[in-house]
C-alpha cells in the first residue's frame, strides 16, 4: 500500500494506492484524485522548470521548461544536458533550448523573451 497526498486540487486528499489490487485508490474526494494516484504509482511524471546560460542578454540565465511532463527518472539526465546549453540572445518564448531531452521525445523550451 502506497500513501501520498493528491496535488490535483487544493483539498490535498490523503490517498492510499493498493498496488496489489489493480491500483485501487482510496481517500480521494473526486475521480481526478483516483487517476492521479494510479498514474503517480505506475509512472510518475513532472514538468521540469529551470534556467540555462544565455549570452548577449541583460541577464546571464534564461528560464526554460519542458513542453510536457517527463518521466521523473529522467529529470537528472535532462538537468545534466541543460548544464551544457548556452543560448545566444535574442530568444523568444517557445524557442527550443534542448531538443528531445534525455531521449524522451520532449523538448525544453524558452519561457521568456530575452
- Domain ranges (residues) in the chain: 2-42, 49-110
Residue 29, C-alpha cell as written in the block: 474526494
Q: What is the pLDDT of residues 78-102, one digit of tens each?
A: 999 999 999 999 999 999 999 999 9
As a whole number of Å, the end-to-end CA separation of the chain is 47
Cis preceding linkage at 90, omega within 30: yes
Residue 54, C-alpha cell as written in the block: 544565455
Bridge partners of residue 108, in order along the sequence? 66, 98
Q: In the predicted model, is pLDDT for residue 21 greater than 90?
A: no
Q: Percent of the chain having pLDDT more than 90? A: 86
Distance CA 73, CA 105 (A): 15
CATH fold of 49-110: CPE0013-like fold (3.10.530)
Q: What is the pLDDT of residues 22-68, one digit of tens each?
A: 888 999 999 999 999 999 999 899 999 999 999 999 999 999 999 99
pTM above threshold 0.85? no
pLDDT band at 1 (very low <50, low <70, confident <90, very high): confident
Interacting residues of 55 by C-beta distance below 8 A, sequence separation 6+: 86, 87, 88, 89
Amino acid at each position: 500500500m502506497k500513501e501520498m497526498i493528491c496535488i490535483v486540487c487544493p483539498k490535498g486528499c490523503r490517498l492510499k494506492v493498493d498496488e496489489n489490487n489493480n491500483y485501487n485508490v482510496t481517500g480521494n474526494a473526486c475521480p481526478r484524485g483516483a487517476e492521479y494516484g494510479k498514474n503517480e504509482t505506475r509512472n510518475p511524471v513532472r514538468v521540469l522548470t529551470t534556467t540555462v546560460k544565455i549570452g548577449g542578454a541583460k541577464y546571464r540565465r534564461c528560464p526554460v521548461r519542458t513542453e510536457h511532463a517527463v518521466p521523473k527518472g529522467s529529470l537528472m539526465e535532462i538537468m545534466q544536458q541543460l548544464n551544457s546549453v548556452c543560448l545566444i540572445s535574442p530568444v523568444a518564448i517557445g524557442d527550443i533550448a534542448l531538443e528531445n531531452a534525455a531521449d524522451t521525445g520532449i523538448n525544453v523550451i524558452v519561457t521568456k523573451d530575452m
